[in-house]
């Protein structure tokens, strides 16, 4: 079977698609999944570069989410049958043996590509809004709103009852952000502070969702509302910003660091509850994940290059 390996830390251009032996029969408590679709994301690039907070040993399989069909079941597995469609954290492989407890049945009618690519970004958005204590009627400012975690934050923010302002770097991307449900959109190529202040009557945003960092974080501090919260999701700009404590003091503001993996590790019960809520919302059509590019797994390097070049809106899926 095919598998995509990171064989050395550095560039996505050094990834290797290799042929390896397919896994044998699943062990006790495991299921075998024939993975048909895989989501990739910007955080994969950070891991490939060797800059992620928990380094994977070399070599490692790239990607972290997928969807496919259960083909075999090991002993002591209940509630899953051969032929079931499931979400799995398998990554860029064609088959995998994995504990049954970590796969999630896909609701009837949900597209396999959507199922393969929505969970990490929507879990980040939903868990993050909880951490930031976003309230109905508050103003949510979402940076990088056309990216995977950004579009998810727009979608989730509306479900929380917030007024959502989305920023992105092009009018084409902003058209999708508006379609997903943002109340206001801003092309932040020339800044955003004045527009945010104008849209909020001079008050600023109550919660700022920032996967970008760098200069965007710095300007965000100039348009945060009293008692506002900035949620740090990542640093796609390449620069981790430095929060000035005197600014936080004057603004009565908070900066909240957040990783979706943290909730999985430290509060698995809440993580499982949130996952069930998201799956129910997906099945009922209350959330609307967006995929801009679908490629073959052999084209994985091209897929990551699209992310590097900021050409992706929502997600990239490898089939």
Domain span at 304 = 2-118+289-318
Instruction: Based on the fold, state whether residues 141 and 114 are members of the same structural domain.
Output: no
Q: Which phi and psi angles does 318 have, rounded to 5°?
A: -105, 125
Is 0.85 surpassed by the pTM of this model? yes
What string of pLDDT tens digits covers the 319 residues of the chain?
999 999 999 999 999 999 999 999 999 999 999 999 999 999 899 899 988 766 678 899 999 899 999 999 999 999 999 999 999 998 899 999 999 999 999 999 999 999 999 999 999 999 999 999 999 999 999 999 999 999 999 999 999 999 999 999 999 999 999 999 999 999 998 899 999 999 999 999 999 999 999 999 999 999 999 999 999 998 888 788 888 898 899 989 999 988 888 888 899 899 989 999 999 999 999 999 999 999 999 999 999 999 999 999 999 999 9
Q: How far is residue 198's CA from residue 33's CA, in Å, rounded to a whole number?
A: 51
As for how many domains the chain has, the answer is 2
Q: Is residue 136 part of a domain?
A: yes
Q: Is residue 217 part of a domain?
A: yes
The two beta strands, 2-6 and 16-19, are antiparallel
Instruction: Based on the fold, state whether residues 88 and 169 are members of the same structural domain.
Output: no
Q: Is residue 91 part of a domain?
A: yes
Backbone angle region of 10, left / alpha / beta, with phi > 0 → left and psi within -120 to 50 → alpha: left
Those residues with Cβ within 8 angstroms of residue 225's Cβ, 6 or more apart along the chain or in another chain: 139, 200, 203, 204, 205, 206
Q: Is residue 271 part of a domain?
A: no
Alpha helices in 135-170 (DSSP H): 148-159
Q: Is residue 196 part of a domain?
A: yes
Instruction: Report CA 206 to chain centroid distance, whole Å.
Output: 22
Q: Which phi and psi angles does 292 have, rounded to 5°?
A: -100, -25
A 10 A CB-CB count for 150 gives: 31
Instruction: Based on the fold, state whether residues 153 and 245 are members of the same structural domain.
Output: yes
Instruction: Based on the fold, state whether residues 107 and 191 are members of the same structural domain.
Output: no
Q: Is residue 276 part of a domain?
A: no
Q: Is residue 125 part of a domain?
A: no
Instruction: Based on the fold, state whether residues 79 and 158 are members of the same structural domain.
Output: no
Structure tokens at 116: 């393969």
- Nearest in space to 227 (alpha carbons), one of 127, 136, 125, 139: 139
Q: What CATH number is attached to the domain comprising 19?
A: 3.90.180.10
Alpha carbon dihedral 293, 164, 120, 37, in 10-degree steps, equals -20
Alpha helices in 160-311 (DSSP H): 171-180, 193-199, 214-220, 245-251, 260-266, 268-284, 300-308
Cβ atoms 241, 214 nearer than 8 A:
yes
Q: What CATH number is attached to the domain comprising 194?
A: 3.40.50.720
Tell me the CB-side half-sphere exposure of residue 158, using CA atoms within 13 A.
19
A 10 A CB-CB count for 215 gives: 13
Q: Is residue 267 part of a domain?
A: no
């Amino acid at each position: 079977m095919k598998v995509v390996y990171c064989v050395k830390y550095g560039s996505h251009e050094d990834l290797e698609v290799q042929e390896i032996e397919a896994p044998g029969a699943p062990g006790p408590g495991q299921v075998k999944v024939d993975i048909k679709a895989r989501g990739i994301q910007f955080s994969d690039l950070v891991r490939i570069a060797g800059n992620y907070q928990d380094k994977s040993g070399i070599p490692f399989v790239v990607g972290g989410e997928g969807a496919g069909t259960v083909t075999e079941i090991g002993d002591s597995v209940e509630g899953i049958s051969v032929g079931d469609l499931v979400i799995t954290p398998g990554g860029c492989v064609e088959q995998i043996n994995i504990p049954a407890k970590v796969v999630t049945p896909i609701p009837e009618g949900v597209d396999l590509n959507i199922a393969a690519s929505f969970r990490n970004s929507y879990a980040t958005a939903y868990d993050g809004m909880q951490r930031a204590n976003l309230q109905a009627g508050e103003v949510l400012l979402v940076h990088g709103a056309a990216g995977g975690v950004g579009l998810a934050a727009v979608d989730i923010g509306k479900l929380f009852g917030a007024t959502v302002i989305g920023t992105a770097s092009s009018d084409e991307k902003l058209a999708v952000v508006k379609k997903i449900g943002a109340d206001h959109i801003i092309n932040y190529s020339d800044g955003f502070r004045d527009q945010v202040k104008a849209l909020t009557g001079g008050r600023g945003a109550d919660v700022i969702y920032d996967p970008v960092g760098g200069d965007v974080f710095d300007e965000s501090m100039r348009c945060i509302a009293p008692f506002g919260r900035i949620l740090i999701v990542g640093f796609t700009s390449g620069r981790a910003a430095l929060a000035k404590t005197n600014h936080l003091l004057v603004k009565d503001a908070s900066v909240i660091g957040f990783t979706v993996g943290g909730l999985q590790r430290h509060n698995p019960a809440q993580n499982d509850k949130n996952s069930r809520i998201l799956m129910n919302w997906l099945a009922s059509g209350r959330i609307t994940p967006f995929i801009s590019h679908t490629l073959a797994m052999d084209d994985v390097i091209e897929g990551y290059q699209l992310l590097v070049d900021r050409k992706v809106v929502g997600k990239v899926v490898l089939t």
